[in-house]
């Protein structure tokens, strides 16, 4: 069992708890040659009403296709992903930087910042951060699968865009060291990168897609892998040692909607073969709903009252000591600043804060699907 602890900043003289709402402002600004003065990503936010489930709401980051916007994909999935908070950023020039798009923005960096930021909200489950992308957004979701190492990201879903040779070639996954371009070998993806394990992955592609070739081949500035092979490669990255599945998959469609399932590692990694052209159908969306399902029956934001977890002294000048229950054997602390930026990760029960400026920090402690919040002030 993995136990995860987060350090969060609070003003001790108030009941300050950062809660994500529909009206929250998440401001992430990046600068690059197209926008030297910085581009702030627009964010559309939806948080379900009602009681917060035990452990906090899972949250799904929705990534639109080329030419789209966050508002559109949020509206599409608001009634698909039950009990999920939804965050839908809009990419620069309505695109995501993969190879030949209008944007060369550092979108993977933006995603890293967004994920870290979401983990600081008291009503969000930091271990259930999901990413779902459509088309160009699916390509960015696949980059997150490969390039992002935050263990709180537990599910990634790519719709109508599989891995390309840029992402995986010569037996390895790759990320770009600099600018991406179809004129560069493998579009500039030249740094061997090893995806972390423990994530669920769902790939949905259509054999009759007129834009993204299901069986692999060049399109939109990259050369795609065969969709079924791409999912098998992801399964291998997650620990699968068997052979690739061939032939017809499991029939999970209807008499009028063809849908074949290729499932690895007991459903951890799944490919769905459909016939919805460059789009989706209700059967595919229902599969997504089931793949992302969570138990929301136990409501109420739970705190860790039985473990007597304490952080002292508080306020603290240098060394913060953390006392936990005797039967908690594995501990991980993550220290964030007030902006939600991850500062350090540690498994020790003593954290040296002397190197950090005076101010507010967040200490969140997660174990057995429960959450403890401790207010800490560095002075």
Whole-angstrom Cα Rg for the chain? 21
CA distances from 51 to 25, 109, 177, 303 (A): 21, 32, 44, 15
For residue range 141-187, what is the model confidence (pLDDT) as tens digits? Answer: 999 999 999 999 999 999 999 999 999 999 999 999 999 999 999 99
pLDDT tops 70 at residue 258? yes
For residue range 309-327, what is the model confidence (pLDDT) as tens digits? Answer: 667 776 788 888 877 665 5
Highest averaged pLDDT of the listed ranges 58-67, 255-264, 306-315: 58-67
For residue range 201-226, what is the model confidence (pLDDT) as tens digits? Answer: 999 999 999 999 999 999 999 999 99
* Contact yes or no for 207/228 (Cβ under 8 A): no
pLDDT tops 70 at residue 371? no
**DSSP reduced 3-state for 225:** coil
Q: Which domains does the chain show, CATH number per domain?
A: 28-292 (3.40.50.1820), 310-378 (2.60.40.1930)
Q: Give the start-end residues of each E strand in 101-159.
A: 124-134, 153-159
The CA-to-CA distance between both ends of the chain, in Å, stands at: 35
DSSP 186: G
* pLDDT at residue number 309: 65
Element (H, E) at 5: strand 4-9
């Amino acid at each position: 069992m993995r136990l995860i602890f987060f350090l969060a900043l609070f003003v001790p003289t108030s009941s300050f708890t950062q809660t994500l709402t529909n009206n929250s402002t998440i401001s992430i600004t990046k600068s690059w040659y197209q926008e030297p003065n910085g581009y702030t990503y627009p964010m559309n936010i939806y948080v379900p009403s009602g009681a917060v489930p035990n452990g906090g709401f899972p949250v799904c980051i929705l990534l639109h296709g080329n030419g789209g916007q966050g508002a559109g994909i949020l509206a599409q999935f608001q009634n698909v992903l039950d009990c999920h908070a939804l965050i839908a950023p809009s990419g620069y020039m309505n695109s995501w930087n993969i190879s030949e798009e209008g944007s060369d923005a550092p979108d993977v960096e933006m995603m890293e910042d967004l994920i870290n930021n979401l983990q600081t909200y008291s009503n969000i489950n930091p271990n259930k951060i999901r990413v779902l992308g459509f088309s160009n957004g699916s390509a960015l979701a696949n980059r997150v699968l490969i390039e992002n190492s935050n263990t709180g990201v537990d599910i990634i879903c790519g719709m109508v865009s599989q891995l390309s040779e840029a992402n995986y070639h010569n037996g390895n996954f790759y990320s770009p060291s600099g600018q991406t371009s179809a004129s560069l070998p493998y579009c500039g993806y030249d740094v061997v990168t090893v995806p972390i394990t423990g994530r669920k992955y769902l790939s949905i592609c259509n054999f009759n897609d007129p834009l993204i070739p299901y069986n692999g081949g060049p399109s939109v500035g990259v050369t795609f892998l065969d969709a079924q092979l791409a999912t098998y490669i992801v399964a291998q990255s997650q620990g699968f040692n068997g052979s690739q599945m061939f032939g017809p998959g499991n029939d999970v469609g209807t008499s009028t909607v063809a849908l074949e399932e290729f499932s690895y590692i007991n459903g951890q990694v799944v490919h769905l073969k459909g016939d919805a052209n460059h789009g989706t159908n209700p059967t595919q969306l229902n599969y997504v709903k089931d793949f992302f399902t969570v138990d929301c029956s136990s409501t109420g934001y739970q705190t860790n009252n039985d473990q007597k977890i304490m952080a002292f002294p508080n306020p603290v000048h240098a060394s913060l000591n953390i006392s936990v229950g005797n039967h908690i054997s594995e501990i991980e602390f993550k220290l964030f600043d007030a902006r939600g930026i991850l500062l350090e990760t540690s498994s020790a029960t003593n954290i040296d804060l002397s190197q950090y400026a005076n101010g507010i920090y967040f200490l969140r402690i997660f174990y057995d699907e429960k959450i403890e919040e401790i207010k800490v002030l560095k002075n």
